[in-house]
Copies of this chain bind each other. A is one copy, B any other.
Amino acid sequence: MEKNVDRYLEAHLDESLKELSRLCAQPSVSAQNWGLQECADLVARMLSQRGFEVNVHPTDGAPIVTGYRPGRSQKTLLFYNHYDVQPVEPLELWDTPPFVPTIKDGRLYARGASDDKGQFVSRLFAIDALLSELGELPCGVRFLLEGEEETSSANLKPFVNAHVEELRADACVWEFGGVDFRGMPMQYLGLRGICYVELSVQTASQDVHSGLGGSIFPNAAWRLVWALSTLKDSRENILIPGFYEDVVPPTERDRELMAALPDEAHEFHQRYGVERFLRGTSGGLELAIQQVFEPTCTICGLTSGYQGIGAKTVLPAAASAKVDFRLVPNQRPEKVFQLLREHLDAQGFGDVQLTMLGGETPCRTNPDDPFVAMVIQTSQEVYGQPMQIVPLVGGSGPNHVISEALQIPIVTAGAGSPEDQAHAPNENLQIDLYLKAARHVARILQSFADD
């Protein structure tokens, strides 16, 4: 049976890549509100053509597409994907046009080729193989595709909470997944949360000549610097009272899983030119734990006054900073935002305005869930080795929305790799990994049905 599926996939690879290319040729940049409805309609047609019952749900932002096709078993697997992509700028750094998918050296180059259109179509490809071999799906399959993942999924949570019954499933496969820099298939079982805020200060109605106002006018840039300096000290301790209150430290099982992962210190030195890690950590388990099990307070951007070449003697009337807090279980973005406001007020920075630009709750799947074990076990045959578990990843996403509403385990299984330039120019998909992902997903669907 697996042999027939694999044969089908190999025989129809070009055809599937053609379909993926058509999808990638459709721009769908959520940050620029470009092509979202068209892309949602295209995705809906791709599901309909495979016998899925499809709905395109309008939201306050981009449409959400759902599809369902029942299968032989009563169980249902949910695939969460997104059809939106990152902006393509800077365009001049692309070797081929981002919306003209191009195959070269075993890779498909296009914006969205990996994140997330390639992942989505690899799943359709697996479904095609199963339908061709079995005439039906082994289990029920649902798709949930949103068009605002790259701009923080503002409409996903209200949608999911309003459609819990229609989305009912027994397990979920997340949007991303794939191999690490060694080519090892990885099972990513959780994401940190995030609380992304903008701090802004306005001290006057216009900028002032610094010779006129320097001694007597309040300076927005100084207010901002002083406010920020109360948030974290130079030893990396976050100073907001109560911030660490809900932090759950890694368990012994987490430490055991992290200890099995490769040491990335050298990779980080090479790729980012970073000489020393924070807190003096040099590498190994300590670095891996620190990287994902510590919450953060990161300044992502600063802007105020004159930023050109040379000197301009201006006292800025306005200043702002973008700050993201990465949250670990069981911190919550709403609470962090509230603590931040209270802290700034207590420190005398009531003049610093706060805007929450995004929030996600941290969310993990139990590494010892039987569904996780099955997904890992089925990877053996495809990759020649079982997936390695990463209990928590440093990034963030809306997995908590699914997890909280449906109370199901969420795993990863996909075609990604660290070289695929997601979010960057020359985004690409490694075609051999695409085929492997389809083979793995087909096995997951079969094993899941039989469990």
Within 8 A of B (CB), among A258-304: 268, 271-274, 276-278, 281, 287, 290-292, 294-296, 298-304
Within 8 A of B (CB), among A216-237: 216-219, 221-222, 224-226, 228-229, 232-234
List 10 interface pairs A-B (beta carbons < 8 Å), by A numbering.
Answer: A151-B310, A196-B313, A210-B324, A219-B299, A222-B234, A228-B229, A298-B315, A302-B304, A302-B307, A307-B322
In the complex, are the beta carbons of A304 and B299 less than 8 A apart? Answer: yes
From A16-24, A76-84, A199-207, give the one contacting chain B.
Answer: A199-207
Q: Which residues of B contact A212 (CB under 8 A)?
A: 291, 394-395
A interface: dominant SS:
mixed
* A276 to chain B: closest residue by CB: B218
Q: Does A106 contact B (CB under 8 A)?
A: no
Q: Which residues of B contact A12 (CB under 8 A)?
A: none
Q: Which residues of B contact A311 (CB under 8 A)?
A: 151-152, 196, 300, 322, 324, 357-358
Q: Which residues of B contact A233 (CB under 8 A)?
A: 226
Interface residues on A, range: 35 or more
Q: Does A163 contact B (CB under 8 A)?
A: no
In the complex, are the beta carbons of B294 and A305 less than 8 A apart? Answer: no
Q: Does A393 contact B (CB under 8 A)?
A: yes
Q: Which residues of B contact A51 (CB under 8 A)?
A: none
Q: Does A370 contact B (CB under 8 A)?
A: no
Q: Which residues of B contact A300 (CB under 8 A)?
A: 210, 221, 305-306, 311-316
Question: How far does the Cβ of A364 sit from chain B's closest Cβ, in whole Å?
Answer: 15
Question: How far does the Cβ of A405 sit from chain B's closest Cβ, in whole Å?
Answer: 23
Measured in the bound complex, the distance between the Cα atoms of B324 and A141 in whole Å is 63
In the complex, are the beta carbons of A348 and B393 less than 8 A apart? Answer: no
Question: How far does the Cβ of A280 sit from chain B's closest Cβ, in whole Å?
Answer: 11
Question: How far does the Cβ of A318 sit from chain B's closest Cβ, in whole Å?
Answer: 11
Q: Does A162 contact B (CB under 8 A)?
A: no
Which residue of B225, B272, B287, B303 contacts A307 across the interface (Cβ within 8 Å)? B303
Q: Which residues of B contact A315 (CB under 8 A)?
A: 298, 300
In the complex, are the beta carbons of B226 and A277 less than 8 A apart? Answer: no
In the complex, are the beta carbons of A273 and B205 less than 8 A apart? Answer: yes
* A222 to chain B: closest residue by CB: B299
Q: Which residues of B contact A196 (CB under 8 A)?
A: 311, 313
Q: Does A31 contact B (CB under 8 A)?
A: yes
Within 8 A of B (CB), among A304-336: 304-307, 310-317, 319, 321-322, 324, 326
